[in-house]
Each structure stands twice: as C-alpha cells, then as structure tokens.
Structure 1
Amino acid sequence: MVRRVKPKVIIYCDGACSPNPGIGGWAALLISPKQGKEKVFTGAEADTTNNRMELTAAIKGLEALKVPCEVDIHTDSQYSDLATYEQPLRYAEGIEYVVVNGKVVLDAGRLTSERPGRVLTRR
C-alpha cells in the first residue's frame, strides 16, 4: 500500500482597517517549503472591520490551496485564531451584539430566540 503524503504549506495572514470600521485590507502569504515557492494574495474593501479583514486573510489563504495540504496558519489575530481551530463552534470573545437580517440574535453576549438566517456548512 502506498501512502500519499500531503504537501506542507505555511500561511502567514493579516488584515487591518483604518478607521475601524472603514477602509480595510488583507494579505495571505503561502509558502511551500519543500518546493521553495511563495505566493501572495491580497485584497481590500471600502467599508469593513478589522475582524472581517483578519478572517478574510485566513479564508483566502485556505481557498488558494489547490490540493489537500498539511497547513500551518500564522496570524497575530487572537479573534481569528480562537474562532477557527481549537474550538471552531465557539463564539468569539468580546462580541456582545449580533444582528442578522435586522433581527438581534446575540444580545449582551446571550443568544436570543431569533433565527433569521441559516447556518452555513462546508460540504
């Protein structure tokens, strides 16, 4: 039996916004150590937040992968780090209010009975 080894990729990502909310940008640097290749992905938005740009950088870095890989993600964002890996279903800390389609779904850090949206899952 032949065991396929997944290629290793290192992703460095960052996002920022000034003022917050305001104009923001993100970047993801993908490095393939074994192949000695690097690729940079960047983007910007006119009306966004710091947290959105931090998450976008990580997401765009992962979306750029063309095959299943062993991935190390490096970020300075505790928001992105805690919300995505160790406890992916955990609510981000410090978020007190969330409004979806005009309905308050998180009020003072507690879920309400409103369910105006739907959960997105990966297939």
Structure 2
Amino acid sequence: MRSCLLLRPTIYAAAADARGPQGQVHVRGVVDNTNRIERALYECKDRWSTAYTVAQNKGLSAQRALRMASVAYKLAMPRMDTKPSIRAAIACIAQGIQLEVFDGRDGSQLLYAAQVALSTLTERKRKK
C-alpha cells in the first residue's frame, strides 16, 4: 500500500505525457488493485489496532482496551450482500477468531450466517 503512495507522482506524470492523436491528454485515475479480501482484512485489523491504541492512550485497562478494539473490528467487517463481500467477511471472521476478537461460539455463528447468505445468493441465481 505504501509503495502505491510513493509511485503516485510517477503514475500521474506518465499519464500526463500520454497524448492522443490530436494532442489531447488522457488522464486515468489511479486504480487500487488490492482485492476485496485483502482490503477487508487490512481495514478490520487497522481499526482493531487503532482502537486498542486509543484505549491504551486513554489509560483504560487492558481488558477494556481489548473490548473496545473488538467492537471496532466487528464494526469494520464487510456486509454480506454479494458473493465477493461474503468471501471477505469469511476471511475477516477467520482473522477475528485468530486475534481472539470472536470466541468459538460467535465465530461459528458468524460462519454459519455467511454460509446461509451464500446459499441465499446461489438460490436467487437459480430462480432467474
């Protein structure tokens, strides 16, 4: 992600030099090629880290800081409305279980919810 920010001036300069047949300039916006799963994982982990740091800076106990961080992680999770976002949510749930944001029961319930959402999308396509 950081390398993308460093290359941004180079990308804009290259795009500005590309001229069409009549001399017009075609500038394309920078496209983020990071896939949805990686973005979701990064966003959830980043929100967790930020909330934990803020809680520690406020002088909260470690237990309350972890609770605050886990709430931030859960709020950053993607909605389960499309197939790619369901896959991203499953990845975030797995990462959350690893980080102990979710206990075993919550994690399994969320994975089941993702399974149901995925089957619902599959059934909609069959009916069309």
Say yes or no: TM over 0.5. Answer: no
| Higher relative contact order, structure no. (Cα contacts within 8 Å, ≥ 6 residues apart) | 1
* Structure (1 or 2) with the larger CA radius of gyration: 2
Greater helix content: 2
| TM-score, normalization by structure 1 | 0.30
| TM-score, normalization by structure 2 | 0.29
